[in-house]
Structure 1
Amino acid sequence: MASSPTPPDPPSWSRRLKELLFGKPRNLQEAGLVEKLSLVALLAWVGLGADGLSSSCYGPEEAYRTLGSHTYLAIGIAALTAFTVVLIATAYSRIIEEFPHGGGGYVVASKLLGERVGVVSGCALLVDYVLTVAVSVAAACDALFSFLPPDWHGFKVASEVVIILALTVLNIRGVKESVLTLAPIFVLFLLLHVFLIVGGIALHLGQVPQVVGNLKDSFRSGLASLGGWGMVVLFFHAYSMGGGTYTGLEAVSNGLPIMREPRVRTAKRTMLYMAVSLSFTAAGLMVCYLLWGVEPLAGKTLNAVLLESFSARWSWGQALTVATLLSEGALLVVAAQTGFLDGPRVLANMAVDSWVPHRFAALSERLTTRNGILLMGAAALSALLYTHGEVRHLVVMYSINVFLTFTLSMLGMLRLWLGRRNSQGRWRKVALFAAGFSLCGSILIITVVEKFRQGGWVTLAVTGCCIGLAFLIKRHYRGMAGKLAELDRTLGTIPAGEEKVAPSLDPGKPTAAFLVASYSGLGVHTVLNALRFFPGHFRNLVFLSVAVVDSGAFKGEGELAKLRQRQEAMLAEYVALANRLGFAATSRLGVGTDVVAAAEALCLEVLREFPRTVFFAGHLIFRRERWYHRYLHNQTAFALQKRLQWQGVPVVVLPVRVY
């Protein structure tokens, strides 16, 4: 007879520290939990729109710097920038309508262009979101150190490392907590930049004739020195180098799962807020650079130079400059949220499709994709240290993958609407996505060609390695699925003998409890082997399963109910199998995000009801164990065995050899 389980120990100091940093576990039984964690349009604008709005701190600057002495072209680039923002935002609003459960680049490309193209887009997005974190934090510290003494600049990289670590912890606590914490910063940034842009333009209204005359003279001079073709090349080169301006626009369509119902309406409203705020800010800043004759200064951003010129006329001007730069730095930190919000979600989607290890689909006790968040944080730190926090280097690396994803999404939607011959508004949408594809594809090609040797090759190499690794992982999982399918065909439907009258459960008799994930050859193999090794010993069979709430299941209240129903139906099949074998049988179901912790609680509950229970679990074994098997396949059986054996509970792990 098994000994009584030892009472659980009080929480360890590490557990208490974990709860202090990340918060206490969420209660999955709480009514309206999904609704409470979702975001309304204004909060989604903060959490997802901050990336787009904050890109106005470095995108327009890069374009303006590229113009060199030909700054008169800034007016045209400002207008084209605003048009591009509106065009891409409108296109993604249509994508949101087509993919109401989340239409990020990975999903769109996979559904419309095939899974192989989808994994290219997915890997590009992953690298993009890593660089979102790195470039946002680096640009934030550039803004903050613009008004600090030069002697302090040696601490910039260290400050960036600390910020990324803090954001990692904050995001593991949960999406809504992190967004609510940072919302005031977003509002402050918006108000101060509206004041700067409106004030910067208003102060030059009396000089409009003079400004227009200067622009005409500069244009004629530039035309004489560059020629018509040279001016066109410079214009589009500078426009492409400002591609970082548009990098946050895809985030809304990818972030639908965290939005308040009705999600499509919420997402489209969020996209509208983002498009208006970004087009106004990016175009407005570029116009102000031109009007105020801003020139680059070492150790300062162009926004810092503009602010110093704009505020010099007032006694409180220095305070305005510092406050605005602080808001920029803070908002850029908020923008890094996008990498932590959407990057793990892309990982989770790819994990469900077996392109990356399945563990990236798992949720933590706080219902965040913790493994993905940790990976994003670690990779962003690596990118930051590799580039020494240089924003211009990071922006080049960043823009390439953004526009690769944009281009593939536009191409997929263009193909979709070309095929819908009788749909209302077909040609209007074809024109929209054709324009988007042409614009995004052009920016992508120019950026790769112009910046290949200045960091572009690094992005392409890293993305290529990610794609290759994804195909290797997919091949492994596909091979495993084939072997398990053979096992299912052999054992999944046996035995199908005569129906027998199953005896009643007797809690005092020896009981075998089986931990199963699905009704398959793997589970049946474990049951039959246990009965073969202990012939005639067990009188009761209990089947245990944990309905694991991962990122695929946590999309709404209805999804959680469906998950429970599926698992209950699966357990009923095992009970029926046991009855056909002549055993008394029952089942128990647990729900949780951590399968080991939920299974442990379930086992202890069964042990109180059936004190003479031996627990069984199956585990896949390989002829040649490789180091990567530990990362690609869970170690649930051994982790659970260790926990329960410490409490004096017998657990047998039976090997299942598939190849």
Structure 2
Amino acid sequence: MPPRLKHLLFGAPRDVSDPKTYHHISLVAFLAWVGLGADGLSSSSYGPDESFRALGQHHYLAVGLALATAFTVFIISYAYSRIVEHFPFGGGGYVVASKLLGPRFGVVSGSALLVDYVLTISTSIAAAADATFSFLPPQWHWAKLPIEFGAIALLMLLNLRGIKESVTALAPIFVVFLVTHVLLIGGALFLRAGELPAVAGEVRHGFSSGLATLGLGGMAALFLRAYSMGAGTYTGIEAVSNGLQIMREPKVQTAQRTMVLMALSLALTAGGITLGYLLVHASPVEGKTMNAVLVERLTGGWGTPGQAFVWLTLAAETALLFVAAQAGFIDGPRVMANMANDRWLPRRFALLSDRLSMQDGIVLISACSALTLLYTRGDTSTLVLMYSINVFLTFSLSELGMVRYWIRERARYPDWKRHILIHLIGLVLCLSILVVSILEKFAVGGSITLVVTSLLIGLCLLIRRHYESVQHNLRRLDEVMEALPAFPAREEQPLDPRQPTAVLLVGGYGGLGIHQLLSVQRVFPNQYRQVLFVSVGVIDSASMKGVEEVEEVRRRTEESLQRYAGLARRLGMTAGWRMSVGVEAVGEAESLCVAIAGEFHRAVFFAGKLIFERERWYQRLLHNDTAYELQRRLQFAGLNAVVLPVRILQQEPVTAAGAGARAAPPEPAGAARG
């Protein structure tokens, strides 16, 4: 893309070394509430609706339902607030399950979250489109699906520019929703306050009648089903612990303030709306949401102002559903990045763009959401059936991990029983909702979610197995270091710009870089007695936490280059090094190489590339083509670049005994076999 067009669409690159950058892209509690809380708050548009409809004619149970909803929100929110304290670097349910239950539980939690975030985007966009098109003539409905695709593309573009920019642009919608729903709930409680005694009498009579006809067990089963059918109300609560890295310092305190705002707003909105249904004697109407029935009955007789309020309230709900998709764009790519750092997903998903956004994750989750809409034809009812199962799988694993943690650490903390209690309650609640949701939704769409999640878990296991096999092979190259001659290092001498210079692009110090050095000496004997090591310290999602982490990347990169230079001097060569730090390896390396070529006119550039004995199509997805891409750029810049192959002879699963694939390490003392 031409640079001017790229900057117009996505904005100018950001400087990772500037402390102001991290302050600028971080979110204060209010903006984090907008970006991460909209998902949960928007669920008040359909969560209480689903629960109330599930009660059938037993509306008297709505009081208990409102209380149970608010109680559940506060329990889960408080439990995740404690999780934020124990995991201050973020990661949410994936990191909790990985650290406290083991990597296999972690990949289950992470995969469930990824599917849930895709469904968050799809469901929110579809619900917003349904609400919009319900006011439009039927002949226009053909445009619904294309507009949904356009909405996903717009959100993708906003998030590629940066999280803060996207959240700031959507904040006014969030504020309008809050104002209209405060008026709606407050109006229902205040204007119908005189009917409270009559409603209380109806509830008592209904409870007595239900007890006589259904029995205590039947009434409890009906209540539990309605409670579980509103499980979508609680989705989004975990988003704060996932998005901790984007919070303004001090991150933990900002995250906890965000959690308080989210819990209060969601509990009061969802619980208040449920009570509002009861106070206005709302009942389901074909073609209308329960919220539409609520606001119409409340404003009946207000004339034109009442009609305007109805339209404004429903428009705010529709718009907030669009904003709710933002949680999927913020946290979905972040979960991908965490899983990529642990080698469950391709490494590219941990990399950042020059705008410090996880662009590959954003693009992939956008594409998956669009495919989900295409598969379901944008049918909200189908999407809702597929939704909310996975989030309670993650909730349950997180609570189980924290329960296990406090049991294991009880000797260190005398007050462990007080801490474990909240997680035990949360575990019981989440497991109950998960079981009932699976039983209720399995045959009518929930099975698709479970199948897709299982397939994703299987794919992650295969990817991890591949990376472990390659890593096992590369350890063979490290054996070279043990066999290298221990000659004393030459006295450090300045590089001569007039001499032939081998410029080696290397990563961290190890057998792979040493293989390149020895291969150059073998292929070009006595040609290069002067070598310059070049490396780019890449700032990825794991290290993009602040200037301190950037300096740590710089320190590690410099240390590796000094070790390479020391090795070259021990082998009788004159050596030096150059480095840079950035978010994109190829661009930074190209700039370094062009600058070096201006200083060393007889320089030839060398980069290493893994090659496999049996090439497979997926290897290009799992391993980058940095060497080939850099070679292409340098060739067109008029510079000579050579790609040095590093052979992986065969791939076999790594066994407990250490058997596995064999790499082809070079022989010591420069006689490498390539």
TM-score range, shorter chain: over 0.9
Q: 2:190 aligns with which of 191, 202, 208?
A: 202
Q: Does structure 1 residue 644 correspond to structure 2 residue 634?
A: yes
Question: Superposition pairs for residues 337-356 of structure 1, below 5 Å?
Answer: 337-356=326-345
Equivalent of 1:84 in 61, 72, 76: 72
1:358 equivalent in structure 2: 347
The question of whether the paired residues in 2 share the 8 Å contact of 1:85 and 1:278 is answered with: yes
Helix, strand or coil at the partner of 2:604: strand
Report matched runs for 1:43-192 at 5 Å: 43-192=31-180
Conserved 8 A contact 1:56-1:281: yes
Query: Which among 307, 328, 334 is matched to residue 317 of structure 2?
Result: 328
CA displacement, residues 367-424 of structure 1 (integer Å, 9 cap, x when unaligned): 0000000111011111122222233322232211000000000000011111222415
Asked whether the equivalents of residues 195 and 279 of structure 2 are also in contact (C-alpha less than 8 Å), the reply is no
2:13 equivalent to 1:25: yes
The structural deviation recorded for 1:538 is 1.8
Asked if residue 447 in structure 1 is aligned to residue 433 in structure 2, the reply is no
Residues 309, 149 of structure 1: alpha-carbon distance in 2 compared, 3 angstrom cutoff: farther
Residue of structure 2 in register with 1:377 after alignment: 366
* 1:103, distance to aligned residue in structure 2 (A): 4.4
User: 1:109-508 alignment to 2 at 5 Å?
Assistant: 109-314=97-302, 315-421=304-410, 422-491=412-481, 494-508=484-498
Mapped contact 2:119–2:383 kept (Cα < 8 A)? yes
- For residues 72-107 of structure 1, the C-alpha deviation after alignment (integer angstroms, 9 at most, x for no partner) is 211111110000000000101110111111140000
- Sequence identity percentage: 55
Letter in 2 for 1:308: E
Distance in 2 (alpha carbons) for counterparts of 1:180 and 1:619: 42
Separation (CA, whole Å) in 2 of partners of 1:628 and 1:71: 55
Shift of 1:281: 0.1
Unaligned residue ranges in structure 1 (runs of 5+): 1-11
1:19 CA drift (Å): 2.1
1-structure distance, mates of 2:438, 2:5: 46
What do the CA deviations read for 1:198-247 (whole angstroms, capped 9, x no partner)?
Answer: 10122211112221222233333333332221111010000001000000
Residues in 1 aligned to 2:491 and 2:546: alpha-carbon distance in whole angstroms: 41
Q: Structure 1 counterpart of 2:322, which letter?
A: V
Please give the secondary structure, in 2, of the residue aligned with 1:618. Answer: strand
Kindly provide the CA deviation profile for residues 332-355 of structure 1, in whole angstroms up to 9, marking residues without a partner as x. Answer: 111111101111011000000000
> Structure 1 residues 150 and 227, CA, compared in 2 at 3 Å: closer, same or farther?
farther
Greater shift in the superposed pair: 606-615 or 498-507: 498-507
**Once the two structures are superposed, what CA deviation does each residue of 1:35-69 show, in whole Å capped at 9, x if it has no partner?**
22111111111111111111111111111111122
**C-alpha contact (below 8 Å) 2:149/2:370 kept by paired residues:** yes
Equivalence for 1:8: none
Distance 2:137 2:305 in 1: 20
Task: Measure how far apart 1:294 and its partner are.
Answer: 2.3
TM-score (norm 1): 0.96
Distance 1:429 1:578 in 2: 56
Deviations 1:118-163 (A, max 9, x none): 1100100110111111111122223333433444444332222211
Residue from 30, 34, 42 that aligns with 1:42? 30
Could you say which residue in structure 2 is the equivalent of 1:9? Answer: none
Q: CA separation of 1:444/1:374 partners in 2, compared to 1, >3 Å: closer, same or farther?
A: same
Task: Pick one of 605, 612, 615 that aligns with 1:622.
Answer: 612
Q: CA deviation at 1:260?
A: 0.8
Compute the displacement of 1:508 (Å).
Answer: 0.9
1:599 to 2:589 alignment: yes
TM-score, normalised by the number of residues in structure 2:
0.94
2:553 counterpart of 1:563: yes
List alignment gaps of at least 5 residues for structure 2: 650-674
Following superposition, the deviation at residue 319 of structure 1 comes to 1.4
Q: Partner of 1:573 in structure 2?
A: 563
- Cα distance in structure 2, aligned partners of 1:280 and 1:148: 32
Conservation of the 8 A alpha-carbon contact between 2:95 and 2:106: yes
Q: CA deviation at 1:27?
A: 2.1
What SS is found at the alignment partner of 1:232?
A: helix
- Structure 1 runs, 4 residues or longer, greater than 6 Å off: none
Moved more, 29-38 or 163-172: 29-38
